[in-house]
Amino acid sequence: MLLVTAPLQAQRLPPRLSGRVEDAITHQPVASVDVYSSGSIVATTDSSGAFSLPATHRPPLRLRFVRLGYELRDSTVTDASTPLLVMLVPAPLGVGSVSVERGAERSPAAEERQRFEREVIPRVVGIARAEIRALPAVGEPDVLRVLQALPGVVPVNDFATQLHVHGGGPDQNLFLLDGARVFAPYHLFGLAGACNPDAVRRVELFAGAVPARRGGALSSVVEVQQRDGVADSVFVEGGLSLVGVRAAVGGPTPAVAGTWMMAGRRSHVDLAKGGFPYSFSDFEGRVSLTPTEADRLGVSWFLSSDRFRWFVSSFGEGLHSRWSNAAGSAEWRRALAGGWSTLLGTWSSGYFGSIAVGDGDELPTSEARVRELGLRVEARREAKATSLRVGGELVRDRVELEGAQHAGGYLVGRSTGSSLTATGYVELDQRLGAVRLAPGLRVSHEVETRRNFIEPRVGLRMYLARSLSLTVGYNRTYQILSTLRDDRYLVPGAPLWFLRRGNDPASRADGATGELSWWLGTRYSVVASAYVRSYKAIPRWRPSGRRDLTELAYDDGSSRGLDLFVRRHSGRITGWLGYTWGEVRLDEAESGATYAPGWDRRRAVDASVAFQASPRLTLSSHLALGSGLPFWPATGAFDGYRLDTPQRRLAPGSAFPVWADEQARLPDYLRLDIGARYRFRAGSLDLEPFASVLNATNHYNVLFYRVGTDPAERARLYPENQLPWLPVLGLDVRF
Amino acid sequence: MIRARRALATVLVLLACSGVPAPPEVPEAEVRQHYVFGLLDPDSARQALIVEAVEAGGTLDDVRVRITASGDPSPLSELRQLDVVSGACIARYGVLIAANDLRCAEGGFRPAFGGRYDLVISSVGRDTARATVQVPGDFQLRSASAEGTPPGTRGLAAVWTPSAGAYRYLVTVSPSAADDCFNVHGCEDGWFTVTTDTQVVTTVPGSALHDRPGARWYVEVYAVDRGLFEYLTTGSGGSVFPVPPLQNVRGGHGAIGAWVRRSWALR
């Protein structure tokens, strides 16, 4: 809560605007508060909490006060004759990693350093909003695409925004939007993320190591925090792109102090006559209320829907898929005395997905439904040398997986499951001179199966020098909710979630990560990290005979890797260069044979550059290089037989594929995207047209191979291309 | 800054001048295996197996199928490759359709009821395939009755003696080898059920059969081993999500099984 009081005392008019910042609870001065005006830092409070703006900054002014550990607040100042008294309300520190702030930007290096200091967890990376907007994309700024460009995160092809983090599968990431889980945060089969970029305030990614307060996913946690509205005005933003049309509005709430925000998107290519057989929409929003200085209430929602109908052959055979998300959350945060704060939250998540293939009126259809309800209670204390967080969760999951009744569908058979899990967690952050020790523990009890999951999470940071630090961490995570994924077929469409049946084992990952971070002034940072992880009971579905859940097996494995991340945070040229070396291996439970999952990309280079050619013109490019991904080649086919009762004998049946016993690798991947944005003002509108060329060199990147024969009747694999050379145009508007 | 722009432009030109790239070289299909399908019939003195090259364009040379009793290396019989047009294979398996090189391996051999046999399939330049077959024991179809028109639509009953080693029993109702059925995939009529019991009392769905005046109807019971049963009742074709059936051939593909068939002609 921001309080701007009446003048403290009558004084001679100061030469420039000044003031003081205090903690709203303790009334102690708050140092190192950044004061922003028009997107730039114009002052920083000293040890007494005082600040003074340059003489060039005269009211009326819109100021923003930003400080780690406090709620970000805006203020409109119309009178410089008296000093300001600004009250900031302490806020529970958010998790570290990628952070995208709406509106005014912190300095990039300061943003990154604050994020780094926030938690003692390795692999913390932040991307400035300008870099996300500048990165060339299919339609509009896409947070998931930017995350894929970071070292340690592997994309498998141009059509999937699913994340593969430190050797983990796409279902091993916990995607949260204001605390509510989203089970399929993708549009266009994963070509784009489902979150409207205009609605996003901050995105935080835990890559590999996750804090004790989060669980249920082996590889990463992605936390999306929606933006709040503006306290003193209404904003309207929108855009038109290749993907669709979007809009976001927000403003202050009536009666009770607070803000509201709503944003929506809809595709448009399907509306044209004979248009693209795909449509999507999403609608999300947030209401934030601050009834008292110490209380904050938040209600958020997210709805999305995708529908696809496509005929894959001239015989009328089709592939139809649709999925939808419905997530909502509510939370009450309260700041108490003595540095304590509490959180009471609840969330609900629903998901529906279906895949249907065939022809005629009755398509063999496979469907999945997920419903999750959760309750969380948490208490936190922040002090100079010690921070403590203690909390508990109660989560109810119900999953229904229903396949076709007859052969031909993606899945045959039915499976339902439910789980009720009670969890307690504790996180400690102890500063001991140049060392920070952060032990954590998460303990869960699954009521139905009576299983207990004990997950230690430990972090240690040593400040070797003023700008050099070493962070190491160890964590264990469990997961019982996974997606059904055919080991050999790349199938576009809705993910099908399933819950472990009966005595099936829970997946487990144990990982150790080390990171050496070096800050070169305020402009550069260099991060070198290494990780090693072991996996237990990773589900593998390689249907043979039947496409049902009896073909599920659980494999063990491991992954290891090295990342190098060099970044330039500020200046006219910003961006990063990342290199990843990684290896993932899984061992078949039945035979012990080792194989590589489909996301085992051994080497990758990502370079992203944004160049501020002029105050209005931004040029950007993104180069991605990667070694080929593994796949199971189809080497031939045979004709099956069936019992022909009228003829009272056997008769030929369908043709079936023959898969090789050894995997092959796709060719190396290369893609260069270039883009440009130009900002200008037209009356009261800020307009920003943008243009991109994806795969500017039209490099042939193989998506998969289909088996066939050449004119000499020899077996041959025919490649299918990924994204070709693709120009993209769009327009962003702000009012 | 000018230098940076020049460098960027140079890189773009070099990348663009690579031309329109051709599809990359594809990996070779190294698999050279057999597909084998067949069933051993203890009621017959000659056995025939279908052997096919798996990879597109592959050829078979000197196919041999060696049969031994399980646990005894002494060969009992060796089926040899014949040409594609083989009466024994056609008689047992119908018209043969294959995308790749297909052979029929045939020879004289009468498996014993209840016997267990190992088969080794080899040919020049290919991986050796193997399979083990459990031949069901002999059994008798004691009685069968089918009421209604078509038969069984108002009640079907049959009783038989147990067959040692049988995994499942298939009970069928079908007309005589239909003269008016020219489709190699069979006519629409024909129905079967599966049981582990030695009797069946059920009703045939009316939609499964059509009245055929003058046709002779049969109730047949097949005692089927596990390898053959799972192969015939699993798997799905199609161009989008095909899945091969369960197979018992090791080092190759397909299934080799056995059945014992007993018929009862309905009046």
Which chain B positions have a beta carbon within 8 Å of A612's beta carbon? none
CB A253 within 8 A of CB A296: no
pLDDT band at A724 (very low <50, low <70, confident <90, very high): confident
Residue A14 has pLDDT above 60, yes or no: no
pLDDT at B8 (0 to 100): 54
Q: Is the ipTM here above 0.95? A: no
* Beta-carbon separation of A658 and B253 below 8 A: yes
Q: Which residue on chain B is closest to A410 by alpha carbon?
A: B241
CB A229 within 8 A of CB A260: yes
Ranked by mean pLDDT, the top range of A88-92, A202-206, B89-93, B228-232 is B228-232
Q: What is the pLDDT of residues A133-173, one digit of tens each?
A: 667 766 677 878 888 888 888 888 887 778 899 999 989 99
Size of interface A-B (CB pairs under 8 A): 220
> What is the Cα–Cα distance from A552 to A540, expressed in whole angstroms?
6
Q: Which residue has the tokens 């649709």?
A: A322
> What is the Cα–Cα distance from A31 to A451, expressed in whole angstroms?
48
Average the pLDDT over A317-334 and give the result.
89
B237 touches chain A (CB under 8 A): yes
CB B182 within 8 A of CB A646: no
SS3 B232: helix
- Nearest-neighbour CA in chain B from A109: distance (Å): 22
Q: What is the pLDDT of residues A202-241, one digit of tens each?
A: 788 888 889 999 999 999 998 888 888 887 788 898 888 8
> What is the Cα–Cα distance from A160 to A170, expressed in whole angstroms?
10
Q: What is the pLDDT of residues A446-475, one digit of tens each?
A: 998 899 999 999 999 999 987 899 999 999
Q: What is the pLDDT of residues B81-127, one digit of tens each?
A: 776 556 778 777 776 666 667 788 888 899 999 999 999 999 998 88
Interface test mutation site (partner B, options A638, A663, A671, A694, max chain B beta carbons within 10 A) = A638
* Beta-carbon separation of A655 and B242 below 8 A: yes
Which chain B positions have a beta carbon within 8 Å of A639's beta carbon? 52, 97-99
Phi, psi of A149 (to 5 degrees): -85, 0
* Beta-carbon separation of A702 and B23 below 8 A: yes
pLDDT at A391 (0 to 100): 97
A358 touches chain B (CB under 8 A): yes
A593 touches chain B (CB under 8 A): no
Q: Which two tokens stand for residue A603?
A: 């080497």
Q: Which two tokens stand for residue B164?
A: 């040692």
- Nearest-neighbour CA in chain B from A619: distance (Å): 11
Q: Which residue on chain B is closest to A724 by alpha carbon?
A: B20
Residue A314 has pLDDT above 90, yes or no: no
A724 touches chain B (CB under 8 A): no
Q: Which residue on chain B is closest to A650 by alpha carbon?
A: B93
Instruction: Please identify among residues 100-129 of chain B the ones whose CB lies closer than 8 Å to any CB of chain A.
Output: 100
Phi, psi of A117 (to 5 degrees): -80, -10
- Nearest-neighbour CA in chain B from A308: distance (Å): 16
pLDDT at A53 (0 to 100): 87
pLDDT at B81 (0 to 100): 79
pLDDT at A10 (0 to 100): 40
Q: Which of A642, A715, A719 sits opposite B29 (nearest CB)?
A: A715
Strands (E), A613-684: 617-626, 630-631, 634-644, 649-659, 664-665, 669-678, 680-682
pLDDT at B52 (0 to 100): 87
Amino acid at A364: P
B232 touches chain A (CB under 8 A): yes
A699 touches chain B (CB under 8 A): yes
Q: What is the pLDDT of residues A417-452, one digit of tens each?
A: 999 999 999 999 998 888 999 999 999 999 988 999
Instruction: Please identify among residues 183-202 of chain B the ones whose CB lies closer than 8 Å to any CB of chain A.
Output: 184-192
Cα–chain center distance at A379: 26
What distances in angstroms separate CA A703 from CA A542, A543, A558, A723, B129, one per listed residue? 20, 22, 25, 9, 33
Q: Which residue on chain B is closest to A704 by alpha carbon?
A: B26
Q: Which two tokens stand for residue A566?
A: 């060099």
Q: What is the pLDDT of residues B165-200, one digit of tens each?
A: 999 999 988 887 544 443 333 445 568 889 999 999
Average the pLDDT over B64-77 and give the result.
88
Residue A564 has pLDDT above 80, yes or no: yes
CB B45 within 8 A of CB B56: no
CB A111 within 8 A of CB A128: yes
Average the pLDDT over B16-28 and give the result.
49
Strands B156-160 and B199-202: antiparallel
Residue B248 has pLDDT above 80, yes or no: yes
The more confidently predicted of residues A408 and A203 is: A203
Which chain A positions have a beta carbon within 8 Å of B231's beta carbon? 640-641
Average the pLDDT over A464-493 and give the result.
86
Of A45, A52, A17, the residue nearest A31 (C-alpha): A45
Q: Which two tokens stand for residue A437?
A: 């020790």
* Beta-carbon separation of B56 and A709 below 8 A: yes
Q: What is the pLDDT of residues A247-291, one digit of tens each?
A: 999 999 988 889 999 999 998 877 765 667 788 899 999 999 998
Which chain A positions have a beta carbon within 8 Å of B191's beta carbon? 645
The more confidently predicted of residues A87 and A636 is: A87
Q: Which residue on chain B is closest to A636 by alpha carbon?
A: B55
Instruction: Please identify among residues 387-426 of chain A the ones whose CB lies closer than 8 Å to any CB of chain B.
Output: 407-410
pLDDT band at B209 (very low <50, low <70, confident <90, very high): confident
> What is the Cα–Cα distance from A20 to A268, expressed in whole angstroms?
50
Q: Which of B31, B186, B253 sits opposite A646 (nearest CB)?
A: B186
Residue B21 has pLDDT above 80, yes or no: no
Strands (E), B41-165: 46-53, 64-69, 75-82, 102-108, 116-122, 129-134, 141-146, 156-160
Which chain A positions have a beta carbon within 8 Å of B242's beta carbon? 654-657
Q: What is the pLDDT of residues B120-157, one digit of tens each?
A: 999 998 889 999 999 999 999 999 999 988 888 899 99
* Beta-carbon separation of B54 and A635 below 8 A: yes
- Nearest-neighbour CA in chain A from B187: distance (Å): 6
pLDDT at A699 (0 to 100): 92
Residue B62 has pLDDT above 80, yes or no: yes
Average the pLDDT over A54-80 and give the result.
80
Q: Which helix (H) or strand (E) holds B261?
A: strand B253-265
The more confidently predicted of residues B55 and A121 is: A121
pLDDT at B188 (0 to 100): 53
Q: Which residue on chain A is closest to B193 by alpha carbon?
A: A645
The more confidently predicted of residues A112 and A677 is: A677
Q: Which residue on chain B is closest to A628 by alpha carbon?
A: B24
Residue B245 has pLDDT above 70, yes or no: yes
